[in-house]
Amino acid sequence: MIKGITLVRPASSPAVYDTLVSFFAALGFEDGQSWNREGDRGRPFLAPLGNLEFVDGMKQGATDTWIEVTQLDAVRGVIEHWLATNLSAAEAPKRISETAETFWKSRVFTAEPVPGIVYAFWEWDEPLRGKPVALAGDLSAEGAKFAIIVARWNSVITDRLLEGALDCLYRSGARKDEVHILRVPGAWEIPAAARKVAETKLVDAVITLGVLLRGETAHYEAIYNEVSRGIGQSQQETGIPHAFGVLTCETLEQALDRAGLKAGNKGFEAASAAIEMVSLNRKIDQKVASE
The single residue of 81, 180, 219, 242 carrying the catalytic annotation is 219
> Cα–Cα distance between 151 and 178 in angstroms, integer?
20
Q: Which residues contact 142 (CB under 8 A, 6 or more apart)?
A: 172, 173, 174
Report DSSP letters for 152-166, one per residue.
-TTHHHHHHHHHHHH
Distances in Å between the alpha carbon of 78 and those of 17, 22, 96, 97?
Answer: 20, 12, 12, 14
Q: Name 118's Cβ contacts closer than 8 Å, sequence gap at least 6.
A: 63, 65, 110, 111, 112
Residue 81 annotated in active site: no
The alpha carbon torsion through 93, 96, 102, 105 (nearest 10 deg) reads -110
Amino acid occupying residue 238: T
- Contact assessment for residue 53 and residue 104, using Cβ atoms and an 8 Å cutoff: no
SS3 172: coil
What is the C-alpha separation between 67 and 50, in angstroms, rounded?
A: 9
Q: Other CB atoms closer than 10 Å to residue 170's CB: what's the count?
A: 14
C-alpha 289/C-alpha 291 separation (Å) is 6
Nearest one of 80, 69, 64, 82 to 19, comparing CA atoms: 82
| Order of strands, sheet of 117-124, starting from the edge strand that comes earlier in the sequence | 66-68, 117-124, 106-114, 100-101
Active-site residue set: 219
